[in-house]
Amino acid sequence: MDTRHPESSCTRNFPTITTPWRTLLVLCGPAGCGKSTFAQRLVEQHSHYGLRATTVVSSDYCRALVCDDEANQQVSRDAFDLFHFIIQKRLLQRRFTIADSTALQAPARHKLLELARSNHYSSLLLIFTISASTCLQRDLERKRSVGERVIARHTQLLQQTLLAAPSEGWNQIYIIDEQNENVQLNIT
């Protein structure tokens, strides 16, 4: 697969993702699926590309910046205003950027896709299809647990995302599951 073409594609098994430097990498999946851990590991493994902790823009961290509590859902509107603002500013500075939020609702993905397009960035969507039972187990181990009800709702939204995402216009889409959580990234 030639990843330089703008056509959207879905791939199940892959050893390496190749993407240009001017990429907005969007993490998408239920709470507890490992998106933030994945992003942190990706940054650590690819520091030679210039990736830093600041490469990851996290909606949870934006909530904490707004009200000192990353779990406070009442400030989500302000937190996402900040989330999108920071991403926009990073793209204007031509920085490789990882958007870390659930991105399970179509309007959330469309906003991120529009940010990529309007800044002439490639758009890469990583969809985490980690089982609900694994998400629940991981959720119990986190400082901020969201609970079974939220994960069940996220799992439903994930199924909708898997159907909708291929027709949304992403340059690249990859599925991350429990067998291939260790992705290699090649930034060109």
Work out the percent of the chain whose per-residue pLDDT is above 70.
Answer: 92
Has residue 145 got a pLDDT over 90? no
Residue with tokens 């949304």: 168
pTM, to two decimals: 0.90
List of domains in the chain: 10-187 (3.40.50.300)
**DSSP string covering 7-57, please?**
S--EES--SEEEE-SSEEEEEE--TTSSHHHHHHHHHHHTGGGT--GGGEE
Has residue 9 got a pLDDT over 50? no
The token pair that represents 111 in the structure block? 């906003």
The tens digit of pLDDT for each residue in 13-44 reads 446 899 999 999 999 999 999 999 999 999 99
CA atoms within 13 A on the CB side of 186: 7
- pLDDT averaged over the chain? 91
Q: Are 34 and 181 in contact (CB under 8 A)?
A: yes
Q: Which of 165, 138, 127, 180 is nearest to 37 (CA)?
A: 138
